[in-house]
Structure 1
Amino acid sequence: MTTATTTKDLGDAELEAPRTKDLASLLVATERPPRPSAWSASLTFGWRAMLKIKHVPEQLFDVTAFPIMMVLMYTYLFGGAIAGSVDAYIQFLLPGILTMSVVMITMYTGVAVNNDISKGVFDRFRTLPIWRPAPMVGYLLGDVVRYLIASVVMLAVGLLIGYRPEGGPVGIALGVALLMVFSFSFSWIWTMFGLLLRTEKSVMGVSMMVIFPMTFLSNVFVDPSTMPGWLQAFVNNSPVTHVSTAVRELMAGNWPAADIAWSLGWSAVLVVVFGSVTMRLYNRK
């Protein structure tokens, strides 16, 4: 029995030896696959965000039902009191409420980041040989798709109840494009909070505390000229006001160069400041 067992062990060893040798030669001789580019890695993580929506479609509630509710509620509640009629008010309100709704939706980026951190997913991302900001940029790229869905939904509802943009499809496209750029930049604030705070509830609470004053203290609902002088000084210099005005004028067929410049300037500042802080936290956390 001992002789048979030894012979069998030797036979198995002789079979394993060529396999091990072939595997070693394969690993040594074959070139490593090229490292993914920054853009490729970011798109991959963006697609991951889209797959999460596919498996949990309830995540689309905030970009479908919420925008519809916002448009209908504010239009029919305040239209007659502020502008005299719903038809007159919707021309002023829709670009503003579109800006407000998309900006408010951006806070869910921080919630998603914080959720992945609590599950330990980011620990795996940090070990990958990829461009370090790719997971963060991927989150934001995936959310841009959600912002586009919300914009399409709100514009469709607005057109159904009487909104008629004089800028036509080109004006609408330019307005939405500018809003997407600003929303992408604004989302970096919430990625920072997602890394900085401990729980999803904390991220949500801080986000609401920041977003509500910024969006309501703007020209989304009314012309700032009706406000007290001290409040006008704040409202007229708010980034939400600049973006709302630019989107409103672009959709009306005008070219508000100053407000576009301010909107792009604010976007650049947000990316530089909060993007840098976010990546420092991401590298150290």
Structure 2
Amino acid sequence: MQFTKPLFLLLPAACLSAQLWAQAPVVDMNSPRQGAESGRSIQGEIYQQLQQLRQEMMTLRGIVEEQEHQISQLKQQGLDRYIDLDRRLGSLTTGAAGAVVGSSSAEAGITAGADSGEIPSASDVPAVAAATSVTASPSVSGPVPAVASSGNDSSDYTDAYALVRSGNYDQAITAFLAYVERYPSGRYTPNAWYWLGELYVAVKPQNLKGATEAFQYLLSKYPDHDKVPAAMYKLGTVYFLNGNKQKSQELLTHVIDRYGSTGNSAVNKSREFLRKNF
């Protein structure tokens, strides 16, 4: 009877110990099943991380594309304000210009609706020129000498351009002035303004103000025309002739930035001009 009480107390304790031992899981890390489950868990985590990285890259790519678009818009807006402000100033200051070196090719032919080439002018060979103060408005104010017209804008443009090819620059200026006055919304009017800009530089004495206003008018009125890159390049050289090297450099750099990937000939000409003169 002396041992009855201790034995009675030990029996529940033994039962509890056996119960706890039965509930404790036994994990064998060397078990193939356990290793496979562990591998799947790691692969799942890696997959989730890759998905998260892909999502982050897509988000970053979208941000970069949006910023590139905004930068492009800002550049265009800056150019538009720049051209508009310069046009509003109205007059150019007189200053000596340095030597200008460029390249050009004579006009080889004309098609119904497109020009190619440029007039060999003082902006394309070593020269020293001064800005002039003569008046030449893009609005073609004042009387324009009478020029024979066929009544067809295409034919009149071809006739005016034939004067450029033959080297009759003064007559060509008269013909193109009559053309833009007669056909202010004509199909070839942007081209006429471009050639007026070229011709004002080619004649002697040069009318650099007239050239500036003609190129500016083309850029502001027809910003999407295919003559715009060439007009920007030529306007940059005219600024240089006027002694305004800062404007010249800014505009030529803009040609490279904006049209660098298009293969336009104005890009290489701008690069060459900057390399030789700045």
How high is the TM-score relative to the length of structure 1?
A: 0.29
Specify the structure having the higher radius of gyration (Cα): 2
Q: Which has the higher contact order (CA 8 A, sep 6+)?
A: 1
How high is the TM-score relative to the length of structure 2?
A: 0.29
Instruction: Please identify which structure carries the higher helix content.
Output: 1
